Amino acid sequence: MPGHVEQARSGEPPIDAVVGDARELPEPDASYDAALLLGPLYHLPERADRVRAIREAIRVTRPGGPVVVAAISRFAAPIDFVSTGRFDERTAAEARRLVTDGVNDPSTGFTQAYFHRVAELRDECVEAGLTDLVIHGVEGPAWPAAEATQSGPIFDAALSLARVYSAEPDLAAVSAHLLAIGVRSARDGRA
């Protein structure tokens, strides 16, 4: 986004940044030691576009390099609605709809977005070519309690629990955000 690029360029220290499309990166093959795909999948409602963005992140990463892919959990919005006291008939209907298609309704107060199931994120990353994949639940299962208190023993306990269960497949989806960490295969024949 142009505003984010300008902000990065004007920071201290300035960061080299360009406007681009995650589905078609303006970078040479294998030009980076690692790739962070932090945000694009949120805004790509079509599976083919998400897989293409992950493939591009893999393409620009050197063989053997890590690729990190962020996604929003399918269950983030409904859990947030409950934990912030906004769960009502309208948000209950949105929760039921999200379970089926994962496409967020911007009228709920959040932008156009796509929310993933853990298995779906795993499948997209594998289809794109990532190996040695681990998916983490970023906030952990007690994140609503942590956000409600923001400090003290409940916050500390929620953080500890998040660390314990970070990569537990049965609990990852309870986190608001998912982080898939994989590797571009060292045997990857792509140039």
| 130-156: pLDDT as tens digits | 999 999 999 988 888 888 788 889 889
- Rounded CA separation 58/41 (Å): 14
Question: For residue 96, what is the DSSP state?
Answer: H
Q: Give the C-alpha distances (Å, rounded to integers) separating 122 from 19, 51, 70, 181, 182.
A: 28, 11, 11, 10, 10
Residue 55's pLDDT is what?
98
For range 159-181, the mean pLDDT = 91
Residue 111's pLDDT is what?
82
- Rounded CA separation 34/22 (Å): 15
Residues with Cβ within 8 Å of residue 179, at least 6 apart in sequence: 68, 69, 70, 71, 135, 136, 138
Beta bridge partners of 2: none
Name the one residue in this structure whose structure tokens are 């906004």: 86
pLDDT band at 190 (very low <50, low <70, confident <90, very high): low
Give me 30's structure tokens.
């294998």
Beta bridge partners of 183: 66, 131
Does 78 or 47 have the greater pLDDT score? Answer: 47
The average confidence (pLDDT) of the chain is: 91
Residue 189's pLDDT is what?
63
Domains defined along the chain, listed by start: 48-184 (3.40.50.150)
